[in-house]
Structures are given as C-alpha cells and as structure tokens.
Amino acid sequence: MGEICIICGKDTGAKWKICDDCIDRLNEKIHHPEPGICPICGKKVVHNGKKNNSKYCSPDCYNISIKVNQKIWHIEHRKHLPQDIVPRQTPKKRTVKRKSRLDENALKAREMGLSYGIYMARVRSGNA
C-alpha cells in the first residue's frame, strides 16, 4: 500500500503522492496550458499585478506541478541508471599497519610512566 493520490484520491502504490494516471494527464496540461486557467485545478488564474504571467492559481498548485515534473524526470532517467552505474571496487586492505617512530616513542614513554613530551625532552637532552 502506498500513498493516496492528492488529485484523484486513488492509491498510488508507491511513495509518490500523485498516481501515474494523474501524472500523465497533468504533465500534458502543465506543458501545454490554456491561457488564464490553472493547469492543475482548472480555476481561473488571477493576476495580482506583480507577476502578469502567472501559470498557477496558488502555491499549492505550483508545488504539485513541481512534483509532477520530478516524477516525469525519474521515469525518463530510470532507464539510464543501471547501465551508467559502475560497481565500486573495494580498496585493497592493508595486511599490517606499519608503526611509525612516533608510536614507538609514545610506547616507550608510557612504559617509563612519562608523557610523550617529557620523554622526548629527555631523549633530546640525552637523559633518557
């Protein structure tokens, strides 16, 4: 069971909120709209003076059109994805991590009960 279509109320069968029938119908209306009529709900588009080329009657209809365009993009590009994906090669694992001189000095300092800094100061002064 998937989401319920926000346009017609049918079960979409997936996580999308718009069913495939409504996607096809709305895609045609969005890309070939009738002037002055909202392609989503069919209401008359009222121009508020700021933007005289409004295509949608409300932000809700605009958001639905974005979802329709996203769904169409996913449908068109789904075919290309499996061929283009190259499986990752697992990096070769190191067999043994090499210890650095820093690790050796820190280990010697711990054995003597000193901090690394004090141990290195004694080594440089020749008292270690």
Residues belonging to the chain: 128
Q: Are 22 and 4 in contact (CB under 8 A)?
A: no
pTM for the complete prediction? 0.54
3-state secondary structure of 11: strand
3-state secondary structure of 18: coil
Domain boundaries, the chain: 20-84, 98-128
What are the tens digits of pLDDT across the range 61-115? 888 889 888 888 887 776 655 555 666 777 777 776 666 778 888 889 999 999 9
Q: Are 68 and 30 in contact (CB under 8 A)?
A: yes
Q: How many CB atoms lie within 10 A of CB 61?
A: 19
Dihedral (CA of 10, 20, 12, 70) sign = negative
